[in-house]
Amino acid sequence: MSAAGLSTKNAPSPMVVLPHYALGTIAFIIASVLLFFAAGDLTASHIGPRVLSIVHILILGWVSMIIFGALYQLIPVVMEIKLYSEGLAYASLVTLAIGTIMMAWGFWESYIAPTVIKHIGGTFLILSMLFFVYNVLMSAKKTTNKTIENKFIVTSAFWLLATVLFGIFILFNVSYGWTNKSSIDLLKVHALMGIVGWFMLLIIGVASTLMPMFFIAHQLNKKYLERSYILVNVGLVAGILLLYFFPNTSWASIFGLPILIGMGMFFKYNLSAYKKRLRKKLDIGMKLSVLAFIVFVASIILGISTLIVSDIYPEFNSRVYLAFGASLLFGFFTILILGQMYKTLPFIVWLQKYQDKVGKFTIPLPSDLYSEKIADAHYYTVIPAIFTLILGLLISQEIVIQIAAIFFVITSLLYAYNTFMIILHKENATPLKKPEFKK
Contact residues for other proteins, defined by CB under 8 A: 1-9, 11, 73, 76-80, 145, 213-214, 216, 218, 278-281, 347, 350-351, 355, 358-360, 365-367, 434-435, 437, 439
What 3-state DSSP class applies to 337?
helix
- The helix or strand, by DSSP H or E, that contains position 258, with its residue range, turns out to be helix 256-275
Report the relative pairing of strands 361-362 and 430-431 from DSSP bridges: antiparallel
Question: Which neighbouring-strand residues pair with 430?
Answer: 362
Q: Based on CB atoms, which residue is closest to other proteins, 38 or 78?
A: 78
The span from the CA of 284 to the CA of 373, in Å, is 10
Q: Based on CB atoms, which residue is closest to other proteins, 148 or 186?
A: 148
Q: Based on CB atoms, which residue is closest to other proteins, 11 or 140?
A: 11
In the complex, minimum distance from the CB of residue 11 to other proteins, in angstroms, rounded to a whole number: 7
In the complex, minimum distance from the CB of residue 278 to other proteins, in angstroms, rounded to a whole number: 5
The span from the CA of 287 to the CA of 379, in Å, is 8
In the complex, minimum distance from the CB of residue 347 to other proteins, in angstroms, rounded to a whole number: 6
16 in Cβ contact with 89 (< 8 Å): yes
In the complex, minimum distance from the CB of residue 10 to other proteins, in angstroms, rounded to a whole number: 9
What 3-state DSSP class applies to 430?
strand
In the complex, minimum distance from the CB of residue 435 to other proteins, in angstroms, rounded to a whole number: 8
Neighbours of 154 (CB within 10 A): 20
Question: Which neighbouring-strand residues pair with 362?
Answer: 430
The span from the CA of 287 to the CA of 272, in Å, is 16
In the complex, minimum distance from the CB of residue 355 to other proteins, in angstroms, rounded to a whole number: 5
Torsion angle defined by CA atoms of residues 251, 387, 343 and 366, in that order, rounded to the nearest 10 degrees: 170
